[in-house]
Amino acid sequence: ETKTINSFPKNFLWGSATAAFQCEGAAYEDGKGLSVMDVREQNPKICNYEVASDHYHHFKEDVALMKECGLKAYRFSIAWTRIFPQGNGNVNQLGVDFYNRLIDELVAANITPIVTIYHFEYPQGLIEQYGGWLSRKSIDDYVNYASFLFKTYGDRVKYWITINEQDHVVHMPFRLGLKGDDLYENEKAGFLANHHMCIAAAKTFKACHELVEGGKIGPAVCFDMMYPTSNRPADMMAWLDAMEIRNYYVLDLNVKGEYGGVFKRYLEDRGWMPKLQEGDLACLKENKPDFIGFNYYASKSISAYPLSDKNKIGDMVIKLLPAEEAGIYKVVKNENLNATLWGWEIDDIGLEGVCRLLWERYRLPLMITENGFGNKEVMPEEGMIQDDDRIDYLHRHLLAVKRAMNVGVEFIGYCNWSFMDIVSGHSGFSKRYGLVYVNRDEFDLKDLSRSKKKSFYWYQETIACNGEN
């Protein structure tokens, strides 16, 4: 007898997500220390993170809106430097109190908090003390910080995310505090940092299980679906390689506790394989996450990128991640898909594929930690923002989740990105993702008031009928 699951499970976590530096503002308030996001060289054409959506001062109003929407879960990140301004050492009580208030507010509204421990904003203090993730010292400081969070908030927070998009941080020098512009050296440093992050994550899985009763923890990687562009065998091989060296490697280390064969060879060929210490692999193998969190926005088409006299192994283009590399693969436009204004190819079937691939490879329940549609939006003088494109995007992607469920993939929940408009990593306030409009422009702060978009009501209805619409 075959069983068809046509519905989302009763306890499905219908969520929405943000990240601290993109929404909180109050960048220098109440004793917060500087992070790499505060000190990064800013594009003068887009806003910085100083005020953002001012969630730090609007959190009660924002949680009230989440409650009205019917959210079952809210994924947010803790700004490490609000808790430890230098990344280690003294605790800043005012920062600790802020998250106590936010968590209490969520719990009172019956919204399950999902907390990201580290979402891009690495403490500048640790970069200055010892070079941040490039030093092994970073492992203990991350684990201490995470353990402090578990002890402080673990009575109310049961879902934890270790590191957001580690697979992107590896290729983004400024997020690692790197100054040089030698791509080859930066990649080498990135993969050393990657190793330290994986050991830190493994130790943190363990700490969570010891310190949080009923605690569940997992990573949140970025996982774009990839396709071979054609049926040329060379494209097929390029696709296989790209999947291994860009998509799977962090999860293989987190879940299977190993450097996958293709990935290891890739690092060794370039002199990028980090020196492992005794016990590293055992530590990775012994400690596992409870679920796989992943952010999904788009798919990419992969084609072979042969070496020529113009390029050599290691020549890379890091424009829109993942980085393409001569001799391995490049990303080409998919003529079958529509794209956002920023060229992100919209592909709900790709999400279905990712869910199936991850489930088959790791057999852990999935949590979609981000999925959303960025657009330019202007508030009309009357009425609300009619974001039908966003509704269509979210609806299609949720149907993809349902189809994956129908073939046995297990899910904990789904978080759309983002609950309210927040500062976009690449495009400031000219790229909005929210279900709720925040009244500000790039440089004009206006009144920062909140207004519900059409998608807010659509999501409210979706949650109310448990995805049966």
Q: Which residues bind ligand BGP (CB under 6 A)?
A: 19, 22, 164-165, 222, 295, 370, 374, 417, 424-426, 431
Q: What contacts 279, CB < 8 A, 6 or more positions away?
A: none
Q: From the CB of 75, what's the least distance to ligand BGP, in Å?
A: 11
Q: From the CB of 424, what's the least distance to ligand BGP, in Å?
A: 3
Q: Which is nearer to ligand BGP, 62 or 370 (CB)?
A: 370
Query: Nearest to ligand BGP by Cβ — which residue?
Result: 424
Q: Which is nearer to ligand BGP, 127 or 415 (CB)?
A: 415
Q: From the CB of 176, what's the least distance to ligand BGP, in Å?
A: 16
Type of residue numbered 35 = S
- The CB density around residue 446, as the number of other CB atoms within 10 Å, is 10
Q: Which is nearer to ligand BGP, 161 or 385 (CB)?
A: 161
Catalytic center residues: 165, 370
SS3 sequence of the chain: CCCCCCCCCCCCEEEEECCHHHHCCCCCCCCCCCEHHHHCCCCCCCCCCCCCCCHHHHHHHHHHHHHHHCCCEEEEECCHHHHCCCCCCCCCHHHHHHHHHHHHHHHHCCCEEEEEEECCCCEHHHHHHHCHHHCCHHHHHHHHHHHHHHHHHCCCCCEEEEEECHHHHCCCHHHHCCCCCCHHHHHHHHHHHHHHHHHHHHHHHHHHHHHCCCCEEEEEEECCEEEECCCCHHHHHHHHHHHHHHHHHHHHHHHHCCCCHHHHHHHHHHCCCCCCCCCHHHHHHHCCCCCEEEECCCEEEEECCCCECCECCCCEECCCCCCEECCCEEEECCCCCCECCCCCECCHHHHHHHHHHHHHHHCCCEEEEECCCCECCCCCCCCCCCCHHHHHHHHHHHHHHHHHHHCCCCEEEEEEECCECCCECCCECCCECCCEEECCCCCCCCCCCEEECHHHHHHHHHHHCCCCC
Omega prior to 322 cis, within 30 of 0: yes
Distance CA 337, CA 349 (A): 11
Q: From the CB of 21, what's the least distance to ligand BGP, in Å?
A: 9
Q: From the CB of 19, what's the least distance to ligand BGP, in Å?
A: 5
Using alpha carbons only, give the angle 45, 456, 16 rounded to the nearest 5 degrees: 75
Q: Which is nearer to ligand BGP, 324 or 370 (CB)?
A: 370
Burial class (CB within 10 angstroms; exposed 0-12, middle 13-18, buried 19+) of 250: buried
Q: Which is nearer to ligand BGP, 8 or 414 (CB)?
A: 414
Q: From the CB of 428, what's the least distance to ligand BGP, in Å?
A: 9
Q: Which is nearer to ligand BGP, 176 or 273 (CB)?
A: 176
Q: Which is nearer to ligand BGP, 52 or 391 (CB)?
A: 52
Q: From the CB of 466, what's the least distance to ligand BGP, in Å?
A: 26
Judge whether 111 and 66 are in contact, CB under 8 Å: yes
Q: From the CB of 347, what's the least distance to ligand BGP, in Å?
A: 16
Q: From the CB of 342, what's the least distance to ligand BGP, in Å?
A: 7
Q: Which is nearer to ligand BGP, 45 or 426 (CB)?
A: 426
Judge whether 115 and 81 are in contact, CB under 8 Å: no
Q: Which is nearer to ligand BGP, 188 or 246 (CB)?
A: 246
Angle, helices 388-406/348-362, rounded to nearest 10 degrees: 30
